[in-house]
């Protein structure tokens, strides 16, 4: 069956010229990275087509992040291709960390260390400093914002920033929206949210990476294990639905306004079972 004889979505990937496609003569029989099995296991259509004398697969409805053609890879040693693409396809994300009114320097330093030890380190880290109003009233007994910023600098994150909270009446969802508005043009597909005192599992980023690249989960929103801890949000979904504006939580908007919206909503523990409230 040729590509002209079947209906495929505009979003798709043809394995035809991928360096990882395995062939028996002119017929594709697999993928060196086992991505065909991953797609099929996730219920994503894999269609066999013929183009001229070549039979190959099309991944329908997805851009395969592992696709590479000969032109892109020819300048690298073939022995390094598989390892290289695995390194290139780690899912980037933005970590938003809430510093509480009573958070200590030790606690803030500890959360930096937990993020640094992740399998995939966050590409960007934002501290939301809810301690700031308290600091302005009693600077001697609270952590200086400059010290928090220094911790971010020393931790070696690719990008970082510090948001001091001036309005104590703003709730956490509104603060998340504020952080997003200041970083909405960043190229990271997801942001995650934790409080500084939360025990972020060492497996968190590996589980997130595997959920997206191996289990092929289409994550729009992952519900936190408590108020905000473990929240995972697709930035496209946040932008499309204006976050938590008008006092309506983002996950409720996704469920109401997206076709089959519930399929994009998960519990955070479905992605990282080690998350505990």
Is 208 part of a structural domain of the chain? yes
Q: Please, what sign has the CA dihedral across residues 74, 78, 80, 83? A: positive
Look at residue 6 in the predicted model and tell me its pLDDT.
67
Q: Quick one: 30 and 109 in the same domain?
A: no
Q: Quick one: 108 and 81 in the same domain?
A: no
* Tens-digit pLDDT profile for residues 36-46: 999 998 889 99
Q: Quick one: 174 and 45 in the same domain?
A: no
Is 4 part of a structural domain of the chain? no
Average pLDDT of every residue of the chain? 93
Q: Looking at residues 252-270, what average pLDDT do you find? A: 95
Residue 1 predicted with pLDDT over 60: no
Q: Quick one: 171 and 197 in the same domain?
A: yes
How far is 190 from 225, CA to CA, in rounded Å? 17
Say which residue, 4 or 268, is predicted with more confidence: 268
The share of the chain scoring above pLDDT 90, in percent, equals 84
CATH number for the domain that contains residue 209: 3.90.550.10
Last residue of a domain, one of 23, 55, 85: 85
Structure confidence at residue 5 as a pLDDT band (50, 70, 90)? low
Look at residue 80 in the predicted model and tell me its pLDDT.
95
Weakest-pLDDT range from 54-68, 100-114, 228-242? 54-68
Look at residue 216 in the predicted model and tell me its pLDDT.
87
Look at residue 130 in the predicted model and tell me its pLDDT.
98
Torsion of CA 158, 96, 127, 132, to 10 degrees: 170
Say if CB 51 and CB 3 are below 8 A apart: yes
| Helix H or strand E encompassing 267 | strand 265-267
Question: 3-state DSSP: the chain helix, strand, coil percent, rounded to 5?
Answer: 35, 25, 40
SS3 call for 125 = strand
Look at residue 4 in the predicted model and tell me its pLDDT.
54
Look at residue 205 in the predicted model and tell me its pLDDT.
97
Count up the domains in the chain and report the number.
Answer: 2
Last residue of a domain, one of 85, 116, 140: 85
Look at residue 9 in the predicted model and tell me its pLDDT.
79
Q: For residue 18, what are the domain limits?
A: 9-70+77-85
* Tens-digit pLDDT profile for residues 219-251: 999 999 999 999 999 999 999 999 999 999 999
Weakest-pLDDT range from 9-13, 96-100, 109-113? 9-13
* 102's tokens: 């009573």
Q: Quick one: 214 and 108 in the same domain?
A: yes
pTM for this prediction:
0.84
């Amino acid at each position: 069956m040729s590509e002209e004889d079947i209906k495929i979505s505009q979003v798709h990937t043809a394995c035809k010229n991928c360096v990882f496609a395995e062939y028996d003569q002119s017929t594709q029989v697999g993928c060196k990275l086992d991505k065909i099995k991953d797609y099929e296991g996730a219920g994503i259509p894999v269609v066999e087509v013929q183009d001229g004398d070549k039979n190959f697969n099309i991944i329908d409805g997805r851009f395969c992040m592992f696709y590479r053609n000969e032109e892109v890879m020819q300048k690298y040693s073939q022995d390094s291709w598989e390892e290289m693409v695995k390194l290139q396809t780690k899912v980037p994300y933005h970590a938003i960390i809430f510093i509480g009114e009573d958070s200590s320097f030790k606690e803030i330093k500890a959360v930096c260390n937990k993020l640094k030890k992740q399998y995939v380190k966050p590409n960007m880290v934002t501290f939301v400093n809810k301690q700031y109003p308290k600091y302005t009233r009693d600077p001697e007994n609270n952590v200086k914002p400059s010290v928090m910023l220094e911790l971010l600098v020393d931790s070696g994150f690719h990008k970082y920033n510090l948001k001091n909270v001036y309005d104590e009446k703003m709730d956490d969802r509104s603060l998340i929206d504020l952080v997003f508005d200041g970083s909405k043009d960043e190229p990271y597909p997801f942001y995650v949210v934790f409080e500084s005192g939360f025990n972020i599992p060492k497996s968190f980023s590996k589980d997130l990476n595997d959920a997206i690249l191996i289990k092929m989960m289409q994550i729009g929103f992952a519900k936190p294990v408590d108020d905000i801890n473990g929240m995972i949000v697709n930035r496209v979904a946040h932008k499309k639905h204006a976050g938590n504006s008008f006092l309506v939580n983002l996950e409720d908007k996704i469920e109401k306004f997206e076709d089959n919206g519930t399929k994009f909503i998960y519990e955070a523990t479905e992605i990282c079972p080690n998350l505990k409230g």
